[in-house]
A = this chain, B = another copy of it.
């Protein structure tokens, strides 16, 4: 793969001067169009050490308007980053629409270095590369142009460069021991990188391999490739979107996982009080242990309006030290959230180490309300199942517990609760027009919930269906399940 980047290409001064002006004008024009476009650009700069990664970052800032570019030279993680799954640091830096984020030091760094230094085996490495492909595919579908540059330099040229730098006093400081150490591993890095590039060069996010020995040739190649990519993506963005047809509402199967629930289950007030005390105490102790062991927990609540999510959440929060949890209530996204990939707003709310994050509605909105109301394109909610599984898998792999509750009530019970809210003064604010509108689509929501549960209930991040016609029963089931989840988590 790298042979094509070892041909000894170079650009003479005159050509560079002439051509670079053209490239630069084209880049500026594209960036100007980008500013008001509905997508963002992520540029990954990888390559051989010494092949000019910072120089290329500098080039982009010089040739374009630096005000529309954020550069991220990621090195060691901060402690806030270390308290979350590895990709958190990349998610938090994703640029909004209209802007460019340049990453030198990216999601490729750890996998490639780890494999080259033999800290991971081939299978682990391939899994990491597969995760990268999923991530970049998601980015690309969520309106991010992913542009990846690999700066290649043959071994002999790296050596010449290092020796040249080391030869004069003025530049000697630029060559560190690590540089020589990495040079010693050149062949291993080359092999590992070649494998990585092969596995991650996809239609959505192809690698551009750049012969980097001659800086003028490198600069022009990078600039031209970026102009092409930007212009192509801008042209796409301008194509009129096909009128989105409202797909037919899904209909539930006669027999499904929700209808099979025994909705008559209940708990007397007396038994409820006893169990509430028991499980609250237990949960309190468990959260203290979690805090000490720095293990976190994510709890998701979904279900029809008036199913009792708020009440169940209060029974959980009532048992916890208020310093150890956050309730994240999900409503319409803010404009900062709307101009980034869908899951961005959830990534930013992940709890710190040792804490509990309770989501009152969640990322599942995409396959529930957004699907049913047509707020997103069908392809968006269809692929969301996979994206959500990958998201939860990352959280869970990192050691965070995940449990998801679907609170079920019958249609009759919902009506009863709505009417109760309508007639009780201090409950009236809880009932809105939207609740009635959603109720009219009861069947569609039920069908969507069944799809969701089927597609996203995994062993590590299971859906727990809660029969919630009886509030006592539902609250105890939630508390008990959470306790069991934490126990398993602490045993892991």
Contacts and interface: CB of A to CB of B under 8 A. Distances in A.
A209 B25 CA distance: 65
A377 interface: no
B57 A322 contact: yes
A329 B429 contact: no
Given A61-B322, A62-B318, A104-B323, A67 B429 contact: no
A140 interface: no
A71 B426 contact: no
Given A66-B327, A68-B329, A61 B317 contact: yes
Count of this chain's copies in the oligomeric assembly: 2
Interface string A64-86: 01111111010000111000000
A313 interface: yes
Nearest to A330: B67
Nearest to A72: B323
A336 B327 CA distance: 19
A58 interface: yes
A67 B314 CA distance: 10
Contact of A65 (B73, B79, B310): B310
A175 to B, nearest CB: 15
A54 interface: yes
A214 interface: no
A234 to B, nearest CB: 14
Contacts of A57: 322-323
Contacts of A321: 54, 58
Nearest to A55: B322
A268 interface: no
A238 interface: no
A127 to B, nearest CB: 30
Contacts of A69: 327
A59 to B, nearest CB: 9
Contacts of A326: 70-71
Given A62-B317, A104-B323, A322-B57, A67 B426 contact: no
A413 interface: no
Given A78-B80, A79-B78, A323-B71, A66 B314 contact: yes
A336 B345 CA distance: 13
A168 interface: no
B71 A329 contact: no
Given A28-B426, A318-B62, A67 B334 contact: no
Contacts of A102: 322
B335 A67 contact: no
Most buried by B among A69, A323, A329: A323
A279 to B, nearest CB: 17
A32 B425 CA distance: 13
A111 to B, nearest CB: 21
A360 interface: yes
A25 B426 contact: yes
A376 interface: no
A29 interface: yes
Nearest to A313: B66
Nearest to A68: B329
A66 B66 CA distance: 42
Given A78-B80, A336-B335, A426 B323 contact: no
16 contacts: A25-B426, A54-B323, A58-B318, A58-B322, A61-B317, A62-B314, A67-B360, A68-B329, A69-B327, A70-B326, A71-B326, A73-B323, A78-B78, A80-B80, A104-B323, A336-B336
Interface of A: 25, 28-29, 32, 54, 57-58, 61-62, 65-71, 73, 78-80, 102, 104, 310, 313-314, 317-318, 321-323, 326-327, 329, 334-336, 360, 426, 429
